[in-house]
Structure 1
Amino acid sequence: MIQTSPAPDLPFSFAALDDRLEQAGVDILISSSRHNLAYLLGGHRHHFFEAAEAIGVSRYLPLLVYPKGRPDEAAYIAFRNEKDSLQNRALEGRALWPATVRPAASGVADAVALAIDHIRAIGGPGGRIGVETHFLPWLAGQALRDAFPAHGLVDANRPLERLRAVKSDAELDRLREASERVVAAMQAVMRSTRPGTSKRAIERALRREEEARGLLFDYALITLGTSLNRAPSDQVCRDGDIMSLDSGGNLDGYIGDLCRMAVFGEADAELEDLLGEVRTVQDAARKPLAPGVRGGDVFSFAQAALAALPSAASTTFVAHGMGLVSHEAPRLTAQGPISYPADDADLPLEAGMILSIETTLQHPRRGFIKIEDTVAITPDGHVGFGDEGRGWTRAGLEAPPRQAGP
């Protein structure tokens, strides 16, 4: 029986997936990226390969084979040591939905061979095969071409990305929690960091604070004083410095990515004005957001406000989608720091979409000043996730927590 509404542990419906594949001309999907597999399988991730995917002379390559309109004939090709995790899921009443689950692969060659065997067993591809071209090893792609020479391989990234763009209520809850926890962790680090602390030590402290809040620490981009360099280093903070913390931490794979500002001392009038300019752009970009608004117009809203500011020449704005991937659909510009086509710029925003909105002012005398917010599109407008701390936070007001060990 074909599912037409989401199962309790799936953030999508098979009908919606089938519709996306039909629009893309895909008859059978082979998904291979970790993010899309986790999405399509209701959050399943194999713990053994969380840190690295290489093993022996090959790599971990799980595959989901999904024939459009026939979810009952789908198969999950898993690594052979995945069987225990899959057994535990079944015992807990959380068995994966594909009727065929084969924890038998030990690398790329046999994973794709098992996928090919399954496709032949269910009658062949029928038409074109959709693969994730950026996430499928060359060896696997060649094997599929050789096995099915009459059927073209097409990129399935776009239909999967558009499917993920509208988040379920459960996904929105995770993104809200991730955002709030990242901001809380950053503010805790800001308030406990004293002059003389290095950027490397700040990064370690932020990792501890995020992990203590149940997040998987992804990264920290840190500036101190007048430097515009955001990489970890031995640079130390000093009295009067400003500090930006831009960090990503994820909850069950869903990313919280925000940036907040702190000052070691009192923020003077100029600093208040400069951060006020950044907030003006952020607020102008956010205010009109609602379902039906053209996605690319978020840049028009921001640029109109930015043009009137004293520091316009030193200020940049960008907005992008967020979720399981940093910079995912809706993709609203081809001119941002990450190169990709603006496929969603002319499409309307929809309730359930997530935008990361960020304004950066690089002041020649005062340094790097930035706010990055996470905004969810709601049926009647929008809401910010993790909106605390959008002003200057006083650094060093609290004692750092005691740490066990050396």
Structure 2
Amino acid sequence: MDHGLDTIATAAPFDTAKLDRLMDEAGLDILIVTSRHNVQYLLGGYRFFFFDVMEAIGTSRYLPVFVYQKGHPDNSVYIGNRMEKFEHELGRIWAPTVRAEAWGTIDAVGLAIEHVRKLGGAALRIGIETGFLPADARDHLLSGLNNAEFREAHFTLERLRAVKSAAELDLIREASERVVDAMMATFKVCAPGMTKNDVVARLRREEQERDLVFEYCLIAAGKSHNRAPSNQLLAEGDVISIDSGGNYRGYIGDLSRMGILGEPDSELSELLREIEHIQQVARRVIRPGVMGGDIIAAGEAVVGSSPHRAVLDFTAHGIGLVSHEAPRLTATGPVPYAPYDADRPLECGMVISIETALLHPARGYIKLEDTLIVTESGWEAPGDHGRGWNSSSLMV
């Protein structure tokens, strides 16, 4: 699958046989996809630039729709905003049928209803993404296709994306490398008297200069565990935790690194080594065929034997187009969901984020977060630099 916007697929840019199989398992005949990440995936990487930042349109909102019929990818249709006709003229949208005719939610869903009716069939079972379908659009859909049975399709679409293609992995590598490079550049210019807001603003610029869409930055400084950007002033000797998500062509680079205004003392060096040890123990488990829950078990075991176990927090989760997606490894992570992959084998091409944080009562918030790609021989860790204490060049 090529996710570059300048290379357009001439056939479906996803595994239609896999999707058909997943739809069979879920008992679905048709998908009406409305989340931007899943629409982007099914279109091979296309995402309309105009609504990349905001999606409100006066009295409604932007709602891209992709309709897929099981066993008939040639019957697929993409329904977009009227301004997307320009993108269609440039050949940037893969779909057998493109209808860039909608303006708001009701228009878009109305065109989807029209298309499904043309497909025919009685007692259709239609998969929808209820969490990504506005109430007015859902009401219109249910009344317009009142002979259909509607079922949740989130799980089906997530499983389709669980194993990344070579092109997707390239984008994840780029996202990860660029996010860490931006962090390293930011740490170098940190100085006493700057605020956390100043640091975040600098990181934003560094990510944007690396062709990333800045999504967020969680930042802690000094002894505080508060990770919200604020006007808290940095002081000499402060530790700085930066945890940021940078988006590269839709794919998330989500990593965390540590900085310090000065040089770390022996205690800080020991604390970060302990976090690094937990990260490495969890990594060593990763390879195809290993149960997903084994990663969690490995990390939790070493946390349990640590003298700092009361203030340590370890977790792992899948990552890709969404910051928490398949493989689902645990039900006890920060984002609650059923641990579907805990007792299922990892596969080549899955991508996993591993993170360990230590909330020290006197030394502050210390964390590493890494991205791991499952490979045939084990794992690969893009963006794997800057893992120690990064001192500001202004303090050296």
Give the shorter-chain TM-score range: over 0.9
2:34 counterpart residue number? 32
Q: Which of the numbers 170, 173, 177 marks the counterpart of 2:170?
A: 173
Structure 1: gaps (5+ residues): 1-5, 400-406
Contact 1:11/1:171 (8 A) holds in 2: no
Residues 306-317 of structure 1: pairs in structure 2 closer than 5 A:
306-317=303-314
Contact 1:12/1:168 (8 A) holds in 2: no
Aligned length: 389
Q: Which moved more, 1:8-17 or 1:198-207?
A: 8-17
Q: Please give the per-residue CA displacement for 1:39-78, whole angstroms capped at 9, x wherever unaligned.
A: 0001111111112111121111111111101011111111
C-alpha distance 270-175 of structure 1, shift in aligned 2 (>3 A): same
- Per the TM alignment, residue 10 of structure 1 is displaced from its structure 2 partner at its CA by 6.1
Distance 1:29 1:220 in 2: 35
Q: Which of the numbers 31, 49, 52 marks the counterpart of 1:50?
A: 52
Distance 1:204 1:238 in 2: 18
- Paired letter, 2:44: G
2:141 counterpart residue number? 144
C-alpha distance 43-111 of structure 1, shift in aligned 2 (>3 A): same
TM-score normalised per structure 2: 0.95
Residues 272-311 of structure 1: pairs in structure 2 closer than 5 A:
272-311=269-308
- Paired letter, 1:17: L
Distance 1:25 1:380 in 2: 36
TM-score normalised per structure 1: 0.93
Residues 6-17 of structure 1: pairs in structure 2 closer than 5 A:
12-17=14-19
Contact 2:12/2:73 (8 A) holds in 1: no
Distance 1:7 1:16 in 2: 18
Q: Which moved more, 1:8-17 or 1:108-117?
A: 8-17
Q: Determine helix, strand or coil for the equivalent of 1:218.
A: strand
1:123 counterpart residue number? 120
- Per the TM alignment, residue 327 of structure 1 is displaced from its structure 2 partner at its CA by 0.5
Q: Determine helix, strand or coil for the equivalent of 1:300.
A: helix
- Per the TM alignment, residue 162 of structure 1 is displaced from its structure 2 partner at its CA by 0.7
Q: Which of the numbers 354, 373, 378 marks the counterpart of 1:376?
A: 373
Distance 1:8 1:189 in 2: 42
C-alpha distance 11-231 of structure 1, shift in aligned 2 (>3 A): farther
Distance 1:177 1:367 in 2: 30
Contact 2:9/2:94 (8 A) holds in 1: no
- Per the TM alignment, residue 125 of structure 1 is displaced from its structure 2 partner at its CA by 6.5
Contact 2:246/2:252 (8 A) holds in 1: yes
Residues 3-402 of structure 1: pairs in structure 2 closer than 5 A:
12-88=14-90, 90=91, 94=92, 96-124=93-121, 127-397=124-394
Q: Determine helix, strand or coil for the equivalent of 1:266.
A: coil
Q: Determine helix, strand or coil for the equivalent of 1:103.
A: strand
Pairwise CA RMSD: 1.6
Distance 1:372 1:275 in 2: 12
- Per the TM alignment, residue 127 of structure 1 is displaced from its structure 2 partner at its CA by 2.5
Contact 1:108/1:139 (8 A) holds in 2: yes
Which 4+ runs in 1 deviate beyond 6 A?
none
Contact 2:122/2:147 (8 A) holds in 1: no
1:3 counterpart residue number? none
- Paired letter, 1:116: I
Structure 2: gaps (5+ residues): 1-7
